[in-house]
A and B are shown apart, each in its own frame.
Chain A
């Protein structure tokens, strides 16, 4: 807890507004000017806090991606019924027969 508060005080502005804007494109989020400003401040606080992880030596530690580490869960290679197309499409915002409808991708 002590080091946590020290880290909060020692927060530095490492993420620029431009960088946050670039991340918003990667994240497919449209942010307003106000959003960008708030997001830059808040992300800097949080990133500043998590940077304390760099203090810990972890050279010979294997990363742990899961709480329970299991490998090679196989399913039998056989055909099974799956969700019918019509049911899968019932929640689509727009559809055209058996397809999802989206704005034109190529040209106008």
Chain B
């Protein structure tokens, strides 16, 4: 048998179901691959081989006993480390949660367990999913498997790299402004951000609640469809989840594309788009034309305001959500002895100089506990966004920034509604350039943010979007194609991605890891 870690999830599932492969053999093959490659890549923050093999053996026993143990029975899966796993450390790549063991499973994790999937481990991410390079993780470095001097993208950097380097057949990520699609593009894998509300967010550590959405990463659209079918659906514990039935995505895939109307987003081919990315995307549009799609041009006129809108709304929501990390309820707490000693020293210093006002302004022990805990527990990017959000929501600025951004958000949504009256899906690049060198944008947050210009709109509008491998740069780095659709059009997106992958072989290339 060829290397198991090279197969698609769908193929592996059929081998498992036919009894030609056991989950124990398969899980071992992936654990061996992780052992051999992950030191170089850094996809995983933690694995627990013993625990994974225990689940695999249990799944094998159930199958041998003639039970039908679920739609993903025996298939390994990697989980982004911002999904709560009961009793197992869930860090969000932050010192703040380095030792946090959630008392419950996220709904998605529960559904995966019920479906018989075998958790392989938790993958690295930008701290609290804030970033586009996985460099803001406080707990590990992740490299791009195609060129280890480059970033893997983010925030779901570990989730994308483990697929690209054959360390897991399936993985779960989260996408607030492109955090599934951008690393998928940079690593040459498929990543889908579903419609807001399609997948329950219960147990996903909150970053920006009106934008966050959980979704699948895999090598093929068919594998992503298999996974989405399991994780999608209404959840009474997430009041924003949609009470709509889940289509059988995998059976929709096979229907031919003929007559599909694709709109090329004019604004996504302007200044700043790398020439190699542009030519790969234009070539992909030609592939769709040959598949029978009708190509027209559409406009999303407010696209140029998307980043400004996003970088008001997301930090505002983040600053509120992250207020819960206070050193009291759970997570990191600063050393109290040092805290009291420092305060005492500052108080006597100020008394000696008779600076009464400064003395009155000195933090109380409780306020200093909050401030010092958060100063030590959070990294630079998280602090920056908390500060930005707090500023934009503070008295006198709320209307100019937050309220204004919410209004522009509606204009962005209306652009999509208008476009989808003319076409079924819109097509364009995922990112302006391929993956960039590690460290090159770390001190220039605005430059990092501007890389999100094609992805943030889908989150603001709540529409689904998928990233598919569509080429390589001369330097050998993957390039991604983005398709976006109206709310609840995941079936159409996956179908369009599936037919593209039947015509092209980009997703079959593998990085050389030795």
Residues of A near B210 (CB, < 8 A) are 65-67
Residues of A near B450 (CB, < 8 A) are 4
With an 8 Å Cβ cutoff, the count of chain A residues facing the other chain is: 57
In the bound complex, CA of A104 to CA of B366 (Å)? 7
Residues of A near B460 (CB, < 8 A) are 67
Question: Given A23-B391, A27-B390, A46-B388, does the pair A67, B400 have CB atoms closer than 8 Å?
Answer: no
CB <8 Å contact, A28 and B371: yes
In the bound complex, CA of A61 to CA of B236 (Å)? 32
User: B196: CB under 8 A from chain A?
Assistant: yes
CB <8 Å contact, B328 and A104: no
Cβ of A16 to closest chain B Cβ, rounded Å? 12
With an 8 Å Cβ cutoff, the count of chain B residues facing the other chain is: 80
CB <8 Å contact, A24 and B387: yes
Cβ of B366 to closest chain A Cβ, rounded Å? 5
- Among A29, A43, A93, contact of B331 (Cβ-Cβ < 8 Å): A93
Residues of B near A67 (CB, < 8 A) are 195-197, 210-211, 413, 459-463
In the bound complex, CA of A20 to CA of B311 (Å)? 18
Chain B residue with Cβ nearest A72: B239
Question: Given A29-B375, A39-B383, A105-B366, does the pair A47, B462 have CB atoms closer than 8 Å?
Answer: no
CB <8 Å contact, A68 and B271: no
Question: Given A50-B308, A67-B462, A93-B333, does the pair A23, B375 have CB atoms closer than 8 Å?
Answer: no
Chain A residue with Cβ nearest B319: A27
Cβ of B90 to closest chain A Cβ, rounded Å? 10
Question: Given A29-B387, A54-B400, A56-B305, does the pair A91, B101 have CB atoms closer than 8 Å?
Answer: yes
Q: Give the contact stretch, choosing among B71-79, B183-191, B402-410.
A: B402-410
CB <8 Å contact, A91 and B383: no
In the bound complex, CA of A102 to CA of B334 (Å)? 12
Residues of A near B453 (CB, < 8 A) are 1
- Among B323, B390, B401, contact of A50 (Cβ-Cβ < 8 Å): B401
CB <8 Å contact, A1 and B304: yes
User: A62: CB under 8 A from chain B?
Assistant: yes
User: Would you give the 0/1 interface string for A51-64, flagging 1 where the beta carbon is closer than 8 Å to chain B?
Assistant: 11110101001111
CB <8 Å contact, B446 and A93: no
In the bound complex, CA of A81 to CA of B384 (Å)? 39
Question: Given A53-B308, A93-B332, A100-B328, does the pair A66, B411 have CB atoms closer than 8 Å?
Answer: no
CB <8 Å contact, A29 and B308: no
Residues of A near B365 (CB, < 8 A) are 103-105
In the bound complex, CA of A75 to CA of B236 (Å)? 8
User: B242: CB under 8 A from chain A?
Assistant: yes
In the bound complex, CA of A68 to CA of B199 (Å)? 13
Cβ of B267 to closest chain A Cβ, rounded Å? 9
User: A70: CB under 8 A from chain B?
Assistant: yes
User: B309: CB under 8 A from chain A?
Assistant: yes
Residues of B near A90 (CB, < 8 A) are 101, 103
Cβ of B333 to closest chain A Cβ, rounded Å? 4
Interface residues of A in 79-100 (CB under 8 A from B): 83, 87-88, 90-94, 100
In the bound complex, CA of A73 to CA of B238 (Å)? 10
Chain B residue with Cβ nearest A63: B406
Cβ of B238 to closest chain A Cβ, rounded Å? 10
CB <8 Å contact, A29 and B368: no
CB <8 Å contact, B196 and A66: yes
CB <8 Å contact, A39 and B371: no
Cβ of B248 to closest chain A Cβ, rounded Å? 22
Cβ of A85 to closest chain B Cβ, rounded Å? 11
Cβ of A108 to closest chain B Cβ, rounded Å? 9
Chain A residue with Cβ nearest B211: A67
User: Would you give the 0/1 interface string for A15-43, flagging 1 where the beta carbon is closer than 8 Å to chain B?
Assistant: 10001100111111111000100010011
Cβ of A9 to closest chain B Cβ, rounded Å? 12
CB <8 Å contact, B319 and A62: no
Cβ of A20 to closest chain B Cβ, rounded Å? 7
In the bound complex, CA of A5 to CA of B304 (Å)? 11
In the bound complex, CA of A2 to CA of B270 (Å)? 9
Interface residues of B in 310-330 (CB under 8 A from A): 311-312, 319, 323, 326-330
Which of B195, B340, B364, B404 is most buried by chain A, counting CB atoms within 10 A of its CB? B404
User: B100: CB under 8 A from chain A?
Assistant: yes
Query: A4-B450, A29-B378, A67-B460 known; 7 other A-B pairs, CB under 8 Å?
Result: A31-B383, A49-B308, A52-B308, A54-B400, A62-B407, A68-B240, A70-B240
Smallest CB-CB A-B distances: 6 pairs = A67-B462, A63-B406, A67-B196, A91-B330, A93-B333, A30-B371
Q: Which chain A residues have a beta carbon within 8 Å of chain B's beta carbons?
A: 1-5, 8, 15, 19-20, 23-31, 35, 39, 42-43, 45-47, 49-54, 56, 58, 61-68, 70, 73, 75, 83, 87-88, 90-94, 100, 102-105
* Interchain residue pairs with CB less than 8 A apart (27): A1-B270, A1-B453, A2-B270, A5-B271, A19-B391, A23-B390, A27-B374, A27-B390, A29-B375, A39-B384, A43-B391, A46-B311, A46-B446, A49-B311, A52-B308, A61-B411, A64-B407, A67-B197, A67-B459, A67-B460, A68-B196, A70-B197, A91-B331, A93-B330, A102-B366, A103-B369, A105-B366
Q: Which chain B residues have a beta carbon within 8 Å of chain A's beta carbons?
A: 100-101, 103-104, 195-197, 210-211, 236, 239-240, 242, 270-272, 302, 304-305, 307-309, 311-312, 319, 323, 326-333, 336, 339-340, 364-372, 374-375, 378, 383-384, 386-388, 390-391, 394, 400-401, 403-411, 413, 445-446, 449-450, 453, 459-463, 487
